[in-house]
Amino acid sequence: MENLNLIDTFSEFKELKNIDRPTMMSVLTDIFKGMMAKMYGSSDNFDVIINIDKGDFEIWRNRIVVETVDDPTTQISIEEAKRIDESYEVGEEVTEEVKFEAFGRRAILALRQNLAGRIVDLEKANLFNKYKDRVGDVIVGEVYQAWKKETLVLDDEGNELILPKAEQIPGDYFRKGDTIRAIVLQVEMRNNTPYILLSRTSPLFLERLFEQEVPEIFDGLITIKRVIRAPGERAKIAVESYDDRIDPVGACVGVKGSRIHSIVRELRNENIDVINYTTNIQLLIQRALNPAKVSTIKVDEKARHADVYMKPAEVSLAIGKGGLNIKLASQLVGYEIDVYRDNMDENEEDVDLDEFADEIESWVIDILKGIGCDTAKNVLAIPFDELVKRTDLEEGTVKEVIAVLKSEFE
């Protein structure tokens, strides 16, 4: 007999479905024993021997020789036993091979269908288990079909993955055969079928791309603190270095932008602002609003709100096209940010803090800059008590600074 074409079935299943030998043996044994139990009432006294490499299998039935048969499933009469072999005696075990051809066409068809069903279920379970542990990983696949609402992607093993339109970057256009990179966003079972959802718009996708392009991030020398995206338009990423010798922003950008350019191209020319993370919220807001230059920042930590003042020419830069820049900056720092035009007399000339280097020590100037004050009027616009609190300078030092700055305008 052809043994249900098991040679072809075994080899194809092992090669294409990548199922390990113990699992395959267990599945086949269960199927055969299930058929024995259905036909004979029990499978406990049956041995199933399977050779996956050759595609052969044998089924052996074990029964005890008795004078009078009470259970034909596990017992055999002495008369019947002697017809098999004259040497059998009562109490001995008779082992005889069950010829599969004797089961009939219907039983063989049922086994074939059962085997096919178990193979499909096993394939689905393996696919689900494989990808549920890869959520958050970047995969490379080939576009098999692009529809209006989603794109079908095949991985290197031919498994089907779905990239919905909502998870595609505006400007993404795929044709059959295109190579695509995306992140595994979600894995779930729908109607007993694994559904692997991909994404190119997730902030985690941008984070993984930086890990691939920047060795310092991959090695843990630089940490990505926060990532905010408006896919295809703009993104802001805050990074921090645990090694003072490493400039985190410079490392992420690369020489002449070599590292970040490949990421920008992958994201359809999405503008990426890389900023140095800090726990100083005023300084973080100032960096997040790049490229706009901030004059003064007033922060309400309890309400998580910040009022930012800047020159009229800088306001449009801070807000960005359609309010995108300020929206991303707010999400990055976790504060609601409102931008206002500086109310100081624009006709009165301001003076950069660096101009006072002869009268104010450089470390004090650096601290003032660290709270977002680059000019004399920036400092004078902040109340005395608040300035002491923000800079953590001695009151006497703050008074001396204020006196020096005020004298410039008298």
Q: Are residues 126 and 19 in the same domain?
A: yes
For residue 80, pLDDT beyond 60:
yes
Region 124-128 average pLDDT: 86
172 in a domain, yes or no?
yes
Tokens of 348: 């009165």
Region 330-350 average pLDDT: 78
Region 364-387 average pLDDT: 83
For residue 375, pLDDT beyond 90:
no
Residue at which a domain ends, from 161, 178, 199? 199
Q: Three-state SS across the chain? A: CCHHHHHHHHHHHHHHCCCCHHHHHHHHHHHHHHHHHHHHCCCCCEEEEEECCCCEEEEEEEEEEECCCCCCCCEEEHHHHHHHCCCCCCCCEEEEECCHHHHCHHHHHHHHHHHHHHHHHHHHHHHHHHHHCCCCCEEEEEEEEECCCEEEEECCCCCEEEEEHHHCCCCCCCCCCCEEEEEEEEEEEECCEEEEEEECCCHHHHHHHHHHHCHHHHCCCEEEEEEEEECCCEEEEEEEECCCCCCHHHHHHCHHHHHHHHHHHHCCCCEEEEEECCCCHHHHHHHHCCCCCCCEEEEECCCCEEEEEECHHHHHHHHCHHHHHHHHHHHHHCCEEEEEECCCCCCCCCCEHHHHCCCCCHHHHHHHHHCCCCEHHHHHCCCHHHHHHHHCCCHHHHHHHHHHHHHHCC
Cα 272 to the chain's mean position, in Å? 20
Give per-residue pLDDT as tens, 262-287: 999 999 999 999 999 999 999 999 99
Residue reference for tokens 């920047």: 214
pLDDT value at residue 11: 53
Q: Are residues 72 and 183 in the same domain?
A: no
Higher pLDDT, 93 or 98: 93
- Biggest CA–CA distance in the chain, Å, is 128
Least confident of 80-89, 95-104, 221-230: 95-104
CA atoms within 13 A on the CB side of 205: 27
388 in a domain, yes or no?
yes
CATH code at position 23 = 3.30.1480.10
Q: Are residues 152 and 113 in the same domain?
A: no
Q: Are residues 178 and 59 in the same domain?
A: no
Residue at which a domain ends, from 149, 183, 199? 199
Q: Are residues 154 and 126 in the same domain?
A: no
For residue 45, pLDDT beyond 90:
no
Q: Are residues 10 and 122 in the same domain?
A: yes
Give per-residue pLDDT as tens, 14-40: 554 556 667 777 777 887 788 788 777
Give per-residue pLDDT as tens, 286-310: 999 988 888 889 899 899 999 998 8
CATH code at position 192 = 2.40.50.140
pLDDT value at residue 17: 52
233 in a domain, yes or no?
no
For residue 7, pLDDT beyond 50:
no
378 in a domain, yes or no?
yes
Query: Based on the structure, what is the number of domains in the chain?
Result: 3
pLDDT value at residue 101: 67
Strands 56-66 and 46-51: antiparallel
Q: Are residues 116 and 188 in the same domain?
A: no
Alpha-carbon span 304 to 59, nearest angstrom: 74
229 in a domain, yes or no?
no
Domain that holds residue 13: 3-130
Region 78-93 average pLDDT: 84
Q: Are residues 58 and 143 in the same domain?
A: no
Q: Which band of pLDDT confidence, cut at 50, 70 and 90, is reported for residue 1?
A: very low
Q: Are residues 23 and 124 in the same domain?
A: yes
392 in a domain, yes or no?
yes
Contact 36, 59 (CB under 8 A): yes
337 in a domain, yes or no?
no
pLDDT value at residue 176: 93
Residues 394, 398, 403, 409, Cα dihedral to 10°: 170
pLDDT value at residue 41: 77
Of all residues in the chain, the percent with pLDDT exceeding 70 is: 90
309 in a domain, yes or no?
no
Q: Are residues 7 and 126 in the same domain?
A: yes
Higher pLDDT, 198 or 378: 198
Q: What is the mean pLDDT of the chain?
A: 85
Region 131-156 average pLDDT: 93
Q: Are residues 96 and 122 in the same domain?
A: yes
pLDDT value at residue 348: 54
Of all residues in the chain, the percent with pLDDT exceeding 90 is: 40
Neighbouring C-beta atoms of residue 117, cutoff 10 Å: 11
Residue at which a domain ends, from 199, 230, 251? 199
pLDDT value at residue 91: 85
Region 227-248 average pLDDT: 93
Q: pTM for the full model?
A: 0.66
Q: Which band of pLDDT confidence, cut at 50, 70 and 90, is reported for residue 381?
A: confident
Q: Are residues 98 and 171 in the same domain?
A: no
pLDDT value at residue 18: 56
